Amino acid sequence: MEQKQFKAESKRLLDMMIHSIYTHKEIFLRELISNASDAIDKLYFRSLTDDSVNMKRSDFAIDIIADEEERTLTIRDNGIGMTKEELEQHLGTIAESGSLQFKSENKMEDDHQIIGQFGVGFYSAFMVASRVTVKSRAFGADKAYVWQSEGTDGYTIDECDKETVGTEIILDILPDNEENEDEKYSDFLSQYRIQSLIKRYSDYIRFPIRMDMKKSRKKEDSDEYEEYIENVTMNSMVPIWRKNKNELKDEDYNTFYKDKFNDYTDPLHHSHVHNEGTITYDALLYIPSRAPYNYYSKEYEKGLQLYANGVLIMERCEDLLPDYFSFVKGLVDSEDVSLNISREMLQHDAQMRAISKSVERTIKNELSRMLKNDRENYEKFFEAFGLQLKYGIYSDYGMHKDILQDLLLFKSSNEKKYTTLAEYVDRMPEGQDCIYYASGESIARIESLPQTEAVKEKGYEILYFTDSVDEFAIKMLMKYKEKDFKSVSANDLNLETEEEKTKREEQETESKDMLETMKNALDGKVASVKLSSRLKTHPVCLSTEGDLSMEMAKTLNAMPGGGQQIQAQTVLELNPTHPIYETLKGLNGTDDEKLKKYSQLLYNQALLIEGMPIEDPVAFSNLICELM
């Protein structure tokens, strides 16, 4: 008999599992029953389209057999079973399960924490068993196999006898720890303990979970009692989404979520939908409290589980969720979905389209309600998934902006707190006619931008755009409640009074020469050099003409495969109230060389303030020394 080794990752998890603290151990039963139920789901689904299965729904069941004398606990299902290869693949490795990956990325200090909270699956059996034996016969296979392991040493696979299709998992329950009251593994052989664990964790399983229970009754015509055995179905079999909302507590929803969707934290929000009318369906929709580690990557797969009248027909149905709500987890169960619908047909199915529209509306309404009534949680949600909403606005040429724009939050100069666009507009003072925003890497960066000074001085609030998608999304919105969006860096802010404007224009005419010399000194890097009345303390700043801002150009140029670099139309603005202005004027016509050098210095300074790279740091540094 050949002894095979577990893959490295599995070994680590097994180690953790075996040494996990006792209080978490009871979840092994939930995990094994959940696997059994999944296997039955698969075979039952198949029976609907494949006559060779020859089983009715009522034939399917999970049996639990507790043998106190032998100290074994058996979990038996008549589901799809596993082939030899599947035993090898599924029970020899857990590399796919993602839990360890999560662990290493988050450096969780406490191993036990994962065990208790993750769906750790099959391996949890080793928390209570010294040996695990899996006998399985796959549907359609003519041989059965037995997989056996005593833990980290590895496992064996051999042929075995098994008449019926399905899987039987036999646990040799660990001996009790005499020194520790808490480690009484015999508990897991007690019928009452098992029954209560099933009620607690597996009640919603949609196939019967049965166990022979010893009971006693009074003999007829006598005072004596006799023992008898009754095969009892221990779960109610009503899936949680079919239950009445007022029978369910938050905890029920949360436990179900963690179990089904492999998250170890409670979701931020759940909504339970019973929809009747043109389309009838039940749905459970959850908003996770944090983004999965691969959320903003290509690997992440969106989708809801799809059930047709209680039968799982698709683990992840993408068509039920628009991309901008891809963070939602949950399921939809409908009588109106045809059982043998194929993936391709789903997209064209009118019922499915109606359901997905309705699901989308529900999510939108739930989020709006949360924003209104539970701001704290909404902000948490937004921290995790707000980026996705912004991408949603930007994608498909702004097609979804009406759905999404009121769900956006931005930090703003108003106490640096989150604000919605509607709140911003409500706060706009008389005289302000656009929505101002400023872009930068961070709030601190933005607040130090000279361009914000004039806007703030007017008493106008500024939205802080710190995600690179922000400006792109806003360009798609174009307006919000008839108000234009305007970057504080735009060349045409129009904030000056008539008086200021006249004065600036006079000064500009007077310094026409000098500004021209300065522009030429910058050798095509700026479209023009102008005087500005927006600057208060800073000598210079950059502004942009046209639609493309410097931040946007920076983002576009950072994209892979961008090829040619894109330039924003920049304008160097000069503060005529700053002492440097007089200095420059003095140089004009007397020392044009120096004026040119000063121009370069000022331009680079403006770039630095803007958070943009300077083209030639060495030349810049040499220039500083030279002028010093």
From 13, 39, 171, 331, residue interacting with ligand ADP (rule: CB under 6 A):
39
**Of 413, 392, 399, which Cα lies nearest the Cα of 323?**
392
Q: Please list every residue from 586 through 605 that binds ligand ADP, using CB under 6 A.
A: none
Local structure of 329: helix, strand or coil: strand
The least CB distance from residue 119 to ligand ADP, in Å, is: 6
**Of 233, 243, 242, which Cα lies nearest the Cα of 208?**
233
> Which residues touch 433 (CB under 8 Å, ≥6 apart)?
483, 484
Q: Is 67 left (phi over 0), alpha (psi -120 to 50) or beta?
A: beta
**Of 376, 341, 334, which Cα lies nearest the Cα of 355?**
334
The least CB distance from residue 132 to ligand ADP, in Å, is: 11
The least CB distance from residue 80 to ligand ADP, in Å, is: 6
Q: Please list every residue from 165 through 184 that binds ligand ADP, using CB under 6 A.
A: 167
Query: Looking at beta carbons only, is 75 or 462 nearer to ligand ADP?
Result: 75
Does 43 sit near ligand ADP (CB under 6 A)? no
Does 36 sit near ligand ADP (CB under 6 A)? yes
Residue 583, strand partner residues: none
From 20, 83, 97, 202, residue interacting with ligand ADP (rule: CB under 6 A):
97
Backbone angles phi, psi at 611, to 5 degrees: 80, 20
What does each C-alpha distance from 209 to 9, 32, 324 come to in angstroms?
32, 12, 39
* The two three-digit tokens of residue 261, written as one number: 């969707």
| Stretch touching ligand ADP by CB under 6 A, among 28-36, 316-324, 326-334, 424-432 | 28-36
Residue 437, strand partner residues: 463, 487
The least CB distance from residue 121 to ligand ADP, in Å, is: 2
> Which residues touch 547 (CB under 8 Å, ≥6 apart)?
475
Q: Please list every residue from 551 through 580 that binds ligand ADP, using CB under 6 A.
A: none
Residue nearest to ligand ADP (CB): 121
Mask for 148-167, x = binds ligand ADP (CB under 6 A): -------------------x
Query: Looking at beta carbons only, is 142 or 181 nearer to ligand ADP?
Result: 142
Mask for 113-132, x = binds ligand ADP (CB under 6 A): ------x-xx----------
Q: Please list every residue from 77 through 96 that binds ligand ADP, using CB under 6 A.
A: 77, 79-82, 90, 94
Q: Please list every residue from 61 through 80 that binds ligand ADP, using CB under 6 A.
A: 77, 79-80
3-state helix, strand, coil in the chain (%, to 5): 45, 20, 35
Q: Please list every residue from 398 through 437 that binds ligand ADP, using CB under 6 A.
A: none
* The two three-digit tokens of residue 293, written as one number: 């580690």
Number of residues that bind ligand ADP (CB under 6 A): 16
**268 vs 266: CA distance, rounded Å:** 6
From 10, 20, 35, 468, residue interacting with ligand ADP (rule: CB under 6 A):
35
**Of 37, 106, 102, 97, which Cα lies nearest the Cα of 311?**
37
Torsion angle (degrees, nearest 10) of CA 202, 206, 211, 217: 100
Query: Looking at beta carbons only, is 64 or 535 nearer to ligand ADP?
Result: 64
- Which residues contribute to the site for ligand ADP (CB under 6 A)? 31, 35-36, 39, 77, 79-82, 90, 94, 97, 119, 121-122, 167
